[in-house]
Amino acid sequence: MIMETSVDLLLRWAHIFPAIVLIGGAIGGSLLAQPAVAPMARGAVIGGIVVMLGTGLSMMMSAMATAPKGWHMWFGIKFLFALHVFAMLFLLTKPGVAPEKRKRWQISAIVGTALVVFAAEYLRHLRGA
Ligand code: HEM
């Protein structure tokens, strides 16, 4: 059983919380009929992506040395899907986009996030955490 330090827990929190806020915000906005993209959206999305990349790379560095067979491949899969989600989030900060196009980006962000979180859980399972 791998003991997680408080730093690990803080990193994991700082990795997951922005994902909830960003992806929830990008999707929730349309469900709550928010008429327009908030001016601060792009800054918030870029800030969140930087935090998730930073915490993600730091967790990768600490897991990689002892990671079992298959972990690196699954990490690569997770990383590629994460980049896709980041791209969708960034596109969703564009004002004045046709509603049907926004809907496509939102659905693509949700599906991408579902695959990312599955891969994340599988990574943890592979490490026996
Ligand atoms: C949309 C983007 C992303 C989402 C939603 C996401 C979500 C998650 C979640 C939920 C976990 C925790 C799993 C758990 O503790 O049970 C996790 C772990 C992790 N994430 Fe991400 N992540 C994203 C992007 C990234 C990126 C860009 C990186 C690398 C730069 C990354 C690297 C990691 C690593 C190394 C772990 C730990 C895996 C392990 O426990 O073996 N993530 N991620």
What's the CATH number where 121 sits? 1.20.120
The residue contributing the CA closest to ligand 1 atom 39 is 124
**Cα separation, 88 vs 72, whole angstroms:** 24
Tell which atom from ligand 1 comes closest to the C-alpha of 129: 40
| Among candidate residues 25, 29, 89, 28, the one with its CA nearest the CA of residue 53 | 89
The residue contributing the CA closest to ligand 1 atom 35 is 60
Indicate if the pLDDT at residue 3 is higher than 60.
Answer: no
Residue-wise pLDDT for 85-108, tens only, equals 999 999 988 888 888 998 899 889
The Cα-based distances of 6 to 12, 13, 17, 54, 82 in angstroms read 10, 10, 16, 17, 25
Domain that holds residue 36: 2-127
| Among candidate residues 101, 12, 109, the one with its CA nearest the CA of residue 60 | 12
Give residue 120 CA to ligand 1 midpoint distance, Å: 5
* Number of folded domains that form the chain: 1
Q: What is this structure's pTM?
A: 0.88
